[in-house]
Amino acid sequence: EAGVVQSPRYKIIEKKQPVAFWCNPISGHNTLYWYLQNLGQGPELLIRYENEEAVDDSQLPKDRFSAERLKGVDSTLKIQPAELGDSAVYLCASSLVDSARFFGPGTRLTVL
């Protein structure tokens, strides 16, 4: 069974540029999460989807971050414009209802 797929794996951009990350969850997983992991820290939730509905986006900085999961399957997380402090690893995870989360390999973003 394929795991959670994320692309790109690495991204280097200059500040003020836009950037987008893509995630394809495990087939059949209705819940999808985006996490932010700073160096030396544990992941922090940005947004959680149940199917196509964002049910928890309280930690998403909405002035520059946006996300979508239009058909309730894959998802895109966007930052526009990127700031230096956005340099981090962006993790996507998925799960069934009441099951453990399965994480993708992450996208490492470097903002110069």
Partner 1 sequence: AQSVAQPEDQVNVAEGNPLTVKCTYSVSGNPYLFWYVQYPNRGLQFLLKYITGDNLVKGSYGFEAEFNKSQTSFHLKKPSALVSDSALYFCAVSPGNYGGSQGNLIFGKGTKLSVKP
Is there a contact between 22 and 72 (Cβ–Cβ < 8 Å)?
no
Q: Does 101 bind partner 1 (CB under 8 A)?
A: yes
Identify the residue among 1, 53, 63, 98 touching partner 1 (CB under 8 A): 98
Residues within window 36-95 making contact with partner 1, judged by CB under 8 A: 40-45, 48, 50, 56, 91, 93, 95
Residue 34, token pair as written in the block: 């985006």
Q: Candidates 11-19, 62-70, 71-79, 103-111 — which segment interacts with partner 1 by CB under 8 A? A: 103-111
Is there a contact between 46 and 59 (Cβ–Cβ < 8 Å)?
yes
What is the smallest separation between the CB atom of 53 and partner 1, expressed in angstroms?
Answer: 13
Burial group, residue 34, by CB count within 10 angstroms (0-12, 13-18, 19+):
buried
